[in-house]
Structure 1
Amino acid sequence: MNNYIKYLTDIIALIIIYAVFLFKKWKSKGKDMLLVNTLLYVYIALVLYVTLMPVILSLPFIFDHAYIPMNMLAFDDYFSGRAYAAQQILLNVILMIPFGFIIPIVKKQNIFSCALLTFLFSLSIELVQPLINGFRSSDVTDLITNTIGGIIGYLLYLAFKPLINTLLNLLKTNQ
């Protein structure tokens, strides 16, 4: 089956979930919360696109291959001198910065709860990746670097908190 159709199936499912279950709920909380929750939803959808998709059409085949256990040697690729290991580390940090930035706007968090949520989100992805297809693997380095990215995002949130509050208040007053 064409890869575009596989991805399109997942994207349509995400759009339906948003339209049917989430949009009205978030809209009732005001434009500010609709905007922030929608940004988080779109961000999570993009992360799923990069890390897990296609999912729906892969489900019937999740047990057709061996589950590859998580690589538990932190930064093994980097220390082994594998090509693109440093870029992969940087990309994993960057991937989770928006999560750490947006999560405390959606629901007030401290740095520890934000780091825990980032870790759990990353762990969920890492545990599901090898199920989706036999070519994906999970790695403890990804958990570490993703969590660091979430913490950096939270620190950026703290730096921009006054501006964020001003923008959200403007949205509230324009309702």
Structure 2
Amino acid sequence: MSNSLKVIIDFIVLAILYVVVFFNKWRTRGKAKLVVNTLMYIYISLVLYVTLMPIVVSLPFIFNHPYIPMNMIPFDDYFSGRGDTVRQIILNVIMMMPFGLLLPLVKKQSVLSCLFWTFLFSLGIELTQPLVNGFRAADITDLITNTIGGLLGYLLYLVFKPLINKIMSHLE
């Protein structure tokens, strides 16, 4: 089965999950909640696409390859001059900025709470990557840069909060 088909299966499962479990629940809470929660759902689906997919068809095989423990030396690749680490650091920060921006819209958050949830989301991805795909490795640098991205997203939320509130009030 081609990788593209495997990813399509994941997106079909995510679409069914959205329609069956979340759509009606969010719709009853108002148009603004539906829009914000749907944006967060789409964002998380895209993060899963970039970091973990294919998942569904990989589940039966998660123990068919060795689990590589997390690299626990922060910024080791950068200081060792390996690969395109600067690009990876920047992309990890950018990838998690929407999480930090959208999370307080989904549910009111303090900066510490947002950092905590960003850290947990990133940790879940990092620990799952070697299971789902034997070619991916977990890295403490990714965890750090993802969490920084969530913080920057939360700061953007604070900066744009008046505009966001105005847009949200028009949706209600």
**CA deviation map 1:24-65 (0-9, x unaligned):** 000000100000000000000000000000001011110111
SS in 1 for 2:136: coil
Per the alignment, residue 44 of structure 1 pairs with 44
Letter aligned with residue 83 of structure 2:
A
Q: TM-score, normalised by structure 1?
A: 0.97
Per the alignment, residue 3 of structure 1 pairs with 3
> Following the alignment from structure 1 to structure 2, what is the Cα–Cα distance between the partners of residues 67 and 49?
21
> Following the alignment from structure 2 to structure 1, what is the Cα–Cα distance between the partners of residues 106 and 129?
27
Per the alignment, residue 153 of structure 1 pairs with 153
Letter aligned with residue 15 of structure 2:
I
Letter aligned with residue 28 of structure 2:
S
- Tell me the CA shift for residue 5 of structure 1: 1.0
SS in 1 for 2:11: helix
Letter aligned with residue 162 of structure 1:
P
Q: Which runs of 5 or more structure 1 residues have no equivalent in the other structure?
A: none
SS in 1 for 2:73: coil
- Tell me the CA shift for residue 134 of structure 1: 1.1
Per the alignment, residue 56 of structure 2 pairs with 56
Per the alignment, residue 98 of structure 1 pairs with 98
Identity over aligned pairs, percent? 63
Per the alignment, residue 163 of structure 1 pairs with 163
Letter aligned with residue 20 of structure 1:
V
Letter aligned with residue 96 of structure 1:
M
> Following the alignment from structure 1 to structure 2, what is the Cα–Cα distance between the partners of residues 29 and 115?
26
SS in 2 for 1:155: helix
**Root mean square deviation, CA, Å:** 0.5
**Count of matched residue positions in the alignment of Structure 1 and Structure 2:** 172
- Tell me the CA shift for residue 83 of structure 1: 2.4
Per the alignment, residue 15 of structure 1 pairs with 15
Q: What stretches of structure 1 move > 2 A for 4+ residues in a row?
A: none
Letter aligned with residue 100 of structure 1:
G
Q: Is the 8 A contact 2:52 2:133 kept in 1?
A: no
SS in 2 for 1:104: helix
- Tell me the CA shift for residue 2 of structure 1: 1.1
Q: TM-score, normalised by structure 2?
A: 0.99
> Following the alignment from structure 1 to structure 2, what is the Cα–Cα distance between the partners of residues 133 and 95?
20
> Following the alignment from structure 2 to structure 1, what is the Cα–Cα distance between the partners of residues 83 and 102?
32
SS in 1 for 2:165: helix
> Following the alignment from structure 2 to structure 1, what is the Cα–Cα distance between the partners of residues 19 and 131?
28
2:108 corresponds to 1:113: no
Letter aligned with residue 115 of structure 2:
A
> Following the alignment from structure 1 to structure 2, what is the Cα–Cα distance between the partners of residues 79 and 151?
24
> Following the alignment from structure 1 to structure 2, what is the Cα–Cα distance between the partners of residues 99 and 66?
31
